[in-house]
Amino acid sequence: MLLELVVGVLKRGGLKLCQEWACSSVKDTPQPPLFFPKRLPFWEQPPGTAQGWRGGRRRGRSPPVMAGGGGCDGWRRRRRAAAWAAGLGLCGAVLVLAAAVLLRAHLRPSPALPRLWARRAGGGPAAFSAGERLELKEALRGAVKIPTVSVSPDDLNATAMAEFGRYIREVFPAVFSSKFIRHEIVGEYSHLFTVQGSNPEMLPYMLLAHMDVVPAPPEGWDFPPFSAAEHEGFIYGRGTLDNKNSAIGILQALEFLLRRNYRPRRSFYVGIGHDEEVFGRKGAMKIAALLEARGVKLSFLLDEGSAILEGIIAGVKKPVALIAITEKGSITLNFTVDKEPGHSSFPPKETSIGILAAAMARLEQNPMRNLFGHGPELKTMEHLASEFSFPLNIVMNNLWLFSPIVSRVLAWKPSTNALIRTTTAVTMFNAGIKPNVIPSSAKATANFRIHSAEKATEVLEIVRNTIADDRVKIDVVEAFDPLPVSPWDDQTFGVHVFQRTILDTFPNVDSVVPGTCIGNTDSRHFTNVTNAIYRFNPLILQSDDLPRIHGLNERISVENYEKQVEFLFQLIKNCDIEKLPEPHANSHEL
């Protein structure tokens, strides 16, 4: 019987067979609806069966009548008509949806800020002479040679920190001798400069950087990490990107302005911390507390963070200036498992190492939830939508429809996955004293970078529920929530000044967009003196530059550093306007 049914399906098709069974099941003569009474193929059935009455119709016989007065042909016609109607309705819905998607992509108003200034032709005149370009290069190289390494809050190269202070006094004499610049040493090694503008009514701003660097063992480097070697247009050394380039660049721009007898109208502060890489408690935190005690309120604060990205964002061909308007929070947890020690010849079912390893594996195998659309990453994509090539521009202009797909794609790469969720990184694991001894304890450390839509307490609760093992003790080492999101609108002074300065300095950049800093900076200590904190390093970074930060062969091109100093030089001048002008009528939006 099964073989006959299979042959029937192959010869006549499953749908027709089902229709014939349906017709045969309503005949006056009772018979099973799915099986024929005789072991004959259905195409050999007599006229009384489904195939039989079809054959009889060809010989002049009438088909059976279904209960209710309709024939099987009528039933098929009604079913076919219903299928056509459903198909046409579905096609219509798809066409309407496609039209809405295309119209939104082309007609949706840009969320970008209006340009308030026309772009200077050719990106503006060259700011520095050949002698000045050589001088700024050598000033950075000299700073890189000073090994201002910070390992932990209690393990700093204090000798190098003090040497750095003497070095900047020597290299920037105009800054230290100016009558309207006050210099203070804070927390033993950090520096605070107060530049008094000519108009005290204008709200001041702050430029922030740090001198300390992470350790750099020489193994694997093409050149010694503190040699500041110059090779093929690049300066190699720890701190060239993070963050002596900013510390020296700010002072260099100010030095050049002072030599031109320039005095700013708007006051501003320059802060250079000495322990940013180890939480900044003795440097930037004390600078912030000092400003707060003096009642200082800032128009904006600019620190390191993001940069001009070229060839990094898939689907975007032009370089994009990404200014971080927030940064992720962080929580560091220690995990400990204590068990009775013993001999490896008669081990227990589970050791402290096995229990803790399983717990860490559960953390890695169960990542935090995808929060795309709940933080600034959505605003980043919306601002970039017009820069994407087809068909990504259609997708990014219609995130109301495609955000589930986009969020899954972003989760594929570690660099973009960090934008859409709280990340988990198991960074340390210690256990065992000897091959034949079962250890009494195992310890591990994990760091979580917290998405702006979550809090540290929420992450801690999720970690407890994921591990779900009371034998694993959890201790909080350090925790702070994500930073508030800074303003990004057409009334924000700092953002418009950044926009103007980028246009003046980088002629190939058209897009200035908000984003998230996935690392942490000293700027988080200044939330009591301003709500407008921005993180932007005016450098052009390509994909091969990213692993060099805190990695091997950190380097900066001489041309890139010249542009950074030019940006800072121009930024100080651009901040002297009292109020924002009206949008420029002959310029498209950023």
Active site residues: 212, 276
- Cα gap 506→252, rounded to integer Å: 19
93 SS3 class: helix
Question: Do the Cβ atoms of 167 and 142 come closer than 8 Å?
Answer: yes
Closest-CA residue to 51 (of 361, 38, 353): 38
CB within 8 A of 59, min separation 6: which ones?
none
- Cα gap 341→545, rounded to integer Å: 47
Question: Do the Cβ atoms of 560 and 542 come closer than 8 Å?
Answer: no
Question: How many other β-carbons are positioned within 10 Å of the β-carbon of residue 418?
Answer: 19
- Cα gap 304→523, rounded to integer Å: 8
In SS3 terms, 351-412 reads as CHHHHHHHHHHHHHHCCCCCCCCCCHHHHHHHHHHHHECCCHHHHHCCHHHHHHHHHHHHCC
Backbone angles phi, psi at 164, to 5 degrees: -60, -40
Question: Do the Cβ atoms of 526 and 485 come closer than 8 Å?
Answer: no
424 SS3 class: strand
Copy the structure tokens of residue 60: 């002049």
| Burial (Cβ within 10 Å: 0-12, 13-18, ≥19) of residue 359 | buried
- Cα gap 334→131, rounded to integer Å: 53
